[in-house]
Structure 1
Amino acid sequence: MRNERYAALTAALGIAFLVRVVGHVIQRWAPVGFLPDEERWQGSGLWYPALLVLQIAILLLFVVVVTRMNRGLNLLGPRWIKPIFALNVLYFAIMGIRLLVGVLADVGVLGDDSFTSANWFSTPIPPIFHLVLSAGVMLILMYQRRLTEESA
């Protein structure tokens, strides 16, 4: 795959994440009826202003990554690919399980909902976008691996 394709796919994931951030901002400060309620956008007890700052930092990182990909520049050293890949697989698996448990609990498959009534499981939007971020990390790793192999 060419640099521009990696950049375009990564940009698409960044735009999806931007839509999530904007949706949460809207529901926080100027709620509209066609979006999920504000409490559905956050699955943790993290103070919202701190979450928003982190999300803006992630969006800025997407801009830097896409710009560097378009230029064919390195994003990280080759020795980081395997450990980040391992952590990302774990991250993806945990968020996938989180989403699955939440969905199964929502339809009543898990019976007693005392375990799954926690906001961490009962809000599907956050794990979906954690999966989006994990996919972005995977694209970055694939891009970097290709660059490393081409320069060897």
Structure 2
Amino acid sequence: MADSVSGQGASRSYGWLLLGLLLVFLFRVVVQLIQAVSPVTALPSFDTWQSGAVPYPLLVVFQIIILIGCGRVVWSFLSGTVVPSDKKGRFLLIVGWTYFIVMGLRLLIGLTVAPDHFWFVAIVPTIFHLVLACFLLVSGSFHTATGACSVASIPEGAA
């Protein structure tokens, strides 16, 4: 029982961090939508938020799907219903680090050797890709930190 309670406490701590990352991404989606529909001079222009790699209407659909998926993950963490899985954690860490490194290189290349290429020069979108990569890394860290322990704490014969 104590393992279950401490696991829920850990999941909630990770959940709050994931919620913060989700809110940062939500901010990007909302601000870009505002700039597309009714531009505000106090905010960066629409083009600042858009790399142009994906047409904006399609991008909004993907962003909504990402927000819903991440929201479900956050809810499972905050409600304590997330089930730790070392295998899932390793997968999320591999994908998260790959994503983070690729986006980090995109940012570095855009700031140094390819400042005129539309994809590399898209600094704001790249920063928000790093936010999403961090979401994967935080989630993966939870699973690897607690997944092996939760399996090890199951009494023999109970599984």
TM-score by length of 2: 0.81
Point out the structure with max Rg over C-alpha: 2
RMSD (Å) for aligned C-alpha atoms: 1.8
Call closer, same or farther: CA 1:141–1:128 in 2, change over 3 Å: same
Residue of structure 2 in register with 1:121 after alignment: 120
Instruction: Write the distance in 2 (CA, Å) between the matches of 1:85 and 1:2.
Output: 18
Instruction: Write the distance in 1 (CA, Å) between the matches of 2:83 and 2:55.
Output: 31
Residue of structure 2 in register with 1:31 after alignment: 39
- Residue 47 in 1 paired to residue 55 in 2? yes
Residue 14 of structure 1: how far off its partner (Å):
0.2
Runs of 4+ deviating beyond 4 Å: none
Residue of structure 2 in register with 1:107 after alignment: none
Identity, % of aligned positions: 32
- Residue 10 in 1 paired to residue 18 in 2? yes
Q: Which runs of 5+ in 2 are unaligned?
A: 1-8, 153-159
- The AA in structure 1 aligned to 2:116 is S
Instruction: Write the distance in 2 (CA, Å) between the matches of 1:139 and 1:33.
Output: 35
- Identify which of 66, 77, 97 aligns with 1:69: 77
Query: Bigger CA drift: 13-22 or 41-50?
Result: 41-50
Query: Bigger CA drift: 53-62 or 39-48?
Result: 39-48
Q: Which runs of 5+ in 1 are unaligned?
A: 105-109
Q: Is the 8 A contact 2:88 2:143 kept in 1?
A: no
Instruction: Write the distance in 2 (CA, Å) between the matches of 1:11 and 1:101.
Output: 30
Call closer, same or farther: CA 1:39–1:76 in 2, change over 3 Å: farther
TM-score by length of 1: 0.84
